[in-house]
Amino acid sequence: MDWQTLCNDEAVRRGFWKAWKDSQPDADNAHEEGGFVVAGDQGLEIVRWPVGDLHEISTPSHAGCKIEGKEIIASFHTHPHSGRGYFQEPSVADVKLVRNDADLKGANYIGEFVFSFARTYLISPDGQVQDIGRTAALFGPKENRNVDQSTEFDHRSRRAFRCPRNDDGQRTSQAGRCRRAAIGRYGLANGRRWRSLAS
């Protein structure tokens, strides 16, 4: 399965959107959320990870690229901070955790999605990272999301203020400074099972 097919699955879209919403983007208690997309009896299903912290989340064990007896097709986590000092794109630690994980090398595993405010990235099993498009577009039409519209984030205005990108979502030089600030502020990764936005 390619990522386009996976992202067009309604159960997957809803699951991605719910994880993003649950991570309370840019709220005071914004935190990472994540999970696996697995092959269930009736089609693709989402198995969520335990709730993450401010800028990191741990991955439950998944021996043989399976969890709860089901084959893992993809994994995902959110980057719910648009502010200065936080990565939007996958961190070096994020990439290494996918590339070096022998249990994320199933024949049908396509990689790990990382959702940020503007863009969504896909880390391939071999560690390649690609920008696969606007996050809002991947979640599908708004009318299909079973959520309270009033809670929807206004990422454009926040991003424009805190971590500028141009209209195509490309990083500006100022966003580049955000990245360096993140490295300086939080240091390098310090735990095998922990993912950090800022390490």
Q: 3-state DSSP call for residue 112?
A: strand
Contact between 33 and Zn ion per CB under 5 A:
no
Q: Which is nearer to Zn ion, 124 or 147 (CB)?
A: 124
Q: In angstroms, give the least distance from the CB of 44 to Zn ion.
A: 22
Minimum CB separation of residue 156 from Zn ion in Å reads 22
- Binding to Zn ion (CB under 5 A): which residues in 157-196? 195
Q: Between residues 39 and 54, which has the closer beta carbon with respect to Zn ion? A: 54
Residue 78 CB, nearest approach to Zn ion (Å): 8
Cα three-residue angle 119-49-158, rounded to 5 degrees: 30
Residue that is written with structure tokens 């005071």 in the block: 28
Binding to Zn ion, residues 87-126 (CB under 5 A): 94
End-to-end CA distance of the chain: 31
Give 39 or 181: the residue with its C-beta nearer to Zn ion: 181
Distance (Å, rounded) from C-alpha 146 to C-alpha 118?
21
Please give the residue whose beta carbon sits closest to Zn ion in the complex.
Answer: 94
**Who contacts 157 (Cβ-Cβ below 8 Å, separation ≥6)?**
none
Number of residues that bind Zn ion (CB under 5 A): 2
Of the two residues 43 and 171, which places its CB atom closer to Zn ion in the complex? 171
CB of 144 to Zn ion, least distance (A): 26
- On whether the CB atoms of residues 98 and 125 are closer than 8 A, the answer is yes
Where b means 16+ CB within 10 Å and e means fewer, 94-112 reads: bbbbbbebeebebeebbbb
Q: Give the nearer residue to Zn ion in terms of CB position, either 40 or 194.
A: 194
Q: Which residues bind Zn ion (CB under 5 A)?
A: 94, 195
